[in-house]
Structures are given as structure tokens and as C-alpha cells.
Amino acid sequence: MVSAILADEGFSRLVTAANRKEGLAAAKAEQPDLAILDVMLPDGDGFSLMEQIRA
């Protein structure tokens, strides 16, 4: 839903991930300026993912 709203507002470089593992890989590959994370993920949580991305 969030990516659809952002796309409607003109953002074109959107990367999505289904879980923490994919999110970490995407963050390493893309080096985003902004990450919108879900608190509850199938294989962890957004808080620990944020800490891993920032490290």
C-alpha cells in the first residue's frame, strides 16, 4: 500500500522486500536515502533491521 501511494506521488525508484533478509540485501545493494520499515516481519522485526542497515 505504501509503495502504491509513493508511486502515485511520483516516486519512481522504489524497492520492496518481503522479509528482513531481503530488506537487508536490498539496503546493501541500493544504499537508500530513506527506508520505510514494518515493525513486524516474518523473520524478525524492523527495529533490528534498522540497526543492521545503519551499522
- Domain assignments of the chain as residue spans, ordered by start: 16-54
For each successive 10 residues of the chain (55 residues), what is the average pLDDT? 94 94 95 92 93 93
Q: Are 13 and 20 in contact (CB under 8 A)?
A: no
Alpha helices in 1-55 (DSSP H): 2-8, 20-30, 46-54
6: which 3 cell numbers? 509513493
Residue written as grid cell 531481503 = 22
Single pTM value for the model: 0.81
Q: Which residues pair with 45 in a beta bridge?
A: 40
pLDDT value of residue 43: 93
**Residue 16's closest CA among 26, 29, 5?**
26
